[in-house]
Amino acid sequence: MPNLLRVTCSLALLSLVAACGGTAGSAAPSGVPTASGASASSSPGTSPSPSTADFGRIEHATGAADLVLRYEQGGGFVPPSFTVAQTPIFTLYGDRIVVFRDPALEGPAPDGSVFRLNPLRTASLSEDQVQDLLAYALGEGRLGIARAQYDFAGVADASTGTFTVDAGGIKKTVAVYALGMDTPDVPDAGARAAFGRLADRLGNFDQGGSIPTDVYAPVAFRAILMDGTGMVVPDVRTWPWTTIGPSDFKGPTDPNAFQMATRTLTPDEVAALKVAEPEGGFSGMILNGPDGKVYSLAVRPLLPDESE
């Protein structure tokens, strides 16, 4: 099944900020591109990138669960089971850890009727790399001056790209409808083009795998249980748990929130579902419940800032 998020990656790729090795505190690899296109191994006399020079030092939180910069995509004409399994495409945390997934990459082959997503990847940045990325996002990426919402009249059933930033005294969320689907007469063409380049930079953060990263190993997962009545697949599975029942999946207490029954699962509880390489999350699993009902199950990894 082709990746439904591929449509957002139609714009030309820009030079990416360097991600270093996958363990916190590790040194950045030499020759990593900065926002100006110069590498981290440039001579001492090389001028800093214009964006960094313009902003100076950008203050940000430093906690492991403090969200500093995020790009995610949602909505559009896709099945609910697919939507609920999605994670943000890119997140930078205060401790300089990034967690991301390239939405342009083809996903792994389905496991029967189960649609699997690529694992998230993670790396640790130096503070200089964080500064370079934030300066680009706030400056050339236009988030510093962006308004909260950018619409695109006449386009239906498209997804929305959402950027969240909390750095340099700027805390905002910017939603861009139909990001990457621009036409010559699109409103706010310059801003939308800048947002598209920023989205490409964040999604392809490891430059197609050329920069060392590690697979993100979630400590917990969110499982979403939905009614599967009428869904016909050749591989309906038996309910896998003896200590977890359908009633253990709870909906939100807020009556205005989207009503979905969820439960936090441990890696061992996810392993009981017997899905190969489940770290990236999956959807479309049909289960015969112990109560005689049929359910659809989606599972997604939890990120450091997400409540269990």
3-state secondary structure the chain: CCCCCHHHHCCCCCCCCCCCCCCCCCCCCCCCECCCCCECCCCCCCCCCHHHHHHCCCCCCCCCCCEEEEEEEECCCCCHHHHHCCCCCEEEECCCEEEECCCCCCCCCCECCEEECCCCEEEECCHHHHHHHHHHHHCCCCCCCCCCEECCCCCCCCCEEEEEEEECCEEEEEEEECCCCCCCCCCCHHHHHHHHHHHHHHHCCCCCCCCCCEECCCCCEEEEEEECCCCCCCCCEECCCCCCCHHHCECCCCCCCCCCEEEEECHHHHHCCCCCCHHHCEEEEEEECCCCCEEEEEEEECCCCCCC
Judge if 138 and 230 occupy the same domain.
no
> Which residues lie closer than 8 Å to 163 by C-beta, 6 or more apart?
69, 70, 71, 137, 141, 143, 146, 173, 174, 176, 195, 198
Torsion of CA 93, 95, 101, 103, to 10 degrees: 40
Judge if 138 and 68 occupy the same domain.
yes
Domain with 264, as residue range(s), is 217-301
Low-confidence spans in the chain with pLDDT less than 50: 1-52
Among residues 181, 214, 247, which one ends one of the domains?
214
Give the count of alpha carbons within 13 A of 270, CB side only: 27
Judge if 121 and 173 occupy the same domain.
yes
Q: Say how far apart CA 89 and CA 3 lie, in whole Å.
A: 13
- The dihedral sign for the CA sequence 108, 262, 8, 143: negative
Judge if 124 and 246 occupy the same domain.
no
**Two tokens at 207?**
């430059």
Judge if 182 and 36 occupy the same domain.
yes
Among residues 179, 198, 214, which one ends one of the domains?
214
Judge if 221 and 208 occupy the same domain.
no
pTM attached to this predicted model: 0.79
- Total domains in the chain come to 2
Res 1: pLDDT: 41
Judge if 148 and 105 occupy the same domain.
yes
Q: Say how far apart CA 152 and CA 175 lie, in whole Å.
A: 11
- The dihedral sign for the CA sequence 76, 80, 82, 84: positive
Res 256: pLDDT: 76
Res 81: pLDDT: 56
Among residues 214, 243, 275, which one ends one of the domains?
214
Judge if 113 and 185 occupy the same domain.
yes
Q: Say how far apart CA 238 and CA 139 lie, in whole Å.
A: 52
Judge if 192 and 221 occupy the same domain.
no
Give the count of alpha carbons within 13 A of 279, CB side only: 15
* Residue 115: other Cβ atoms inside 10 A: 22
Res 85: pLDDT: 75
Res 9: pLDDT: 35
